[in-house]
């Protein structure tokens, strides 16, 4: 029986979120899942410079990840620092 890791699940969900960000000229890059269950990502393209990037990260990416994977603590953008 295959065992899917938490990290693989996180990557899969981010891959499903990516097309929505790309519709608005942005993108997201998965960086890592830290041992404290914090997901590090890098918002790119229009998302990297958008004034709503923090809202996208918290209300979109983080809420989606935590909905499917409640063990995730939060999501941080490694460039923006939130």
Domain residues of the chain, as ranges?
6-77
CA-nearest of 16, 6, 25 to 60 is 16
Low-confidence ranges of the chain (pLDDT < 50): 1, 82
User: Quick one: pLDDT at residue 68?
Assistant: 96
User: Quick one: pLDDT at residue 59?
Assistant: 78
Distance CA 9, CA 44 (A): 21
CB 13 within 8 A of CB 33: no
CATH 3.30.300.130 applies to domain 6-77: yes
CB 25 within 8 A of CB 46: yes
């Amino acid at each position: 029986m295959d065992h899917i890791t938490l990290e693989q699940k996180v990557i899969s969900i981010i891959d499903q979120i990516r097309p929505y960000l790309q519709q608005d000229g942005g993108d997201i890059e998965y960086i890592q899942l830290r041992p404290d269950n914090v997901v590090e990502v890098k918002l790119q393209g229009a998302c990297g410079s958008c004034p709503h990037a923090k809202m996208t990260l918290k209300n979109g990416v983080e809420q989606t990840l935590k909905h499917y994977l409640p063990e995730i603590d939060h999501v941080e953008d490694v460039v923006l620092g939130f």
